[in-house]
Amino acid sequence: MDWRQVIVGIVIGALVGIAGTFFALQGRISKLEGIVDQLKGSSQQTTSGESQPKRYPAWPRSPNGKYQGVRVALGNGDEHYQVKEIGTGRLVMTTHAQYKTPNDVKAGLFSPDSNKIAAAYHYGHEGNYTWVGVWDIETGNLVDTKRKSGWTTDIYWVFNKEGN
């Protein structure tokens, strides 16, 4: 065996080991980023003691780090969340508005157990209100709807036990 072959073998083995470590860390980082994104949305206090509005990431991640909601324009003025598996990129489901008229999603939030996603849409034809659809992620089925007076992007109440 040539010493060059030995060195090439060692280098290839090291690169494969580094790549494996990188992909393992990438999965863990994705999970942590999801948790951080969820925490960023919680209410924040200013130095004067006033509560600031909750902020929602443009692309929310599920608490378990498995899913990401990607805001996409689907044409005709529609914007919704497509839920994708982070590890595979597989499209799992797409949210939709209450009505088939053009609308854009205002906020999205995963349930604490990562099994559902809520998406908020605003309407003004019956007075201003926010409609929130809640979908089962794996089936893509709309499983619940909520309505709140006024336009809001604060939808953390959707997954509270009280739901208000």
Closest by CA position to 81, among listed 103, 112, 55, 100: 103
**List of the chain residues with pLDDT < 50:** 37-55, 164
pLDDT at 139: 94
Residue 49 lies in a domain: no
User: Has residue 4 been placed in a domain?
Assistant: yes
CA distance 70 to 35: 16
23-55 exposure pattern, b = at least 16 Cβ within 10 A, e = fewer: eeeeeeeebebbeebbeebeeeeeeeeeeeebe
Q: What is the pLDDT of residue 135?
A: 95
CATH code at position 123: 2.40.128
Number of domains forming the structure of the chain: 1
Tokens, residue 146: 């909520």
Distance CA 10, CA 96 (A): 52
Q: Is residue 124 part of a domain?
A: yes
**pLDDT on residue 24:** 56
In this prediction, residue 21 carries a pLDDT of: 64
Position 91 in a domain: yes
Q: Calculate the dihedral angle through the C-alpha atoms of 26, 55, 60, 109, rounding to the nearest 10 degrees.
A: 140
Q: Is residue 48 part of a domain?
A: no
Residue 13 is assigned to a structural domain of this protein: yes
Residue ranges making up the domain that contains 9: 1-42+55-164
pLDDT of residue 22: 56
Q: Residue 153 has what pLDDT? A: 84
Q: Is residue 9 part of a domain?
A: yes
Across the beta sheet with 107-110, what order do the strands follow?
A: 107-110, 116-123, 129-136, 142-149
pLDDT of 132: 93
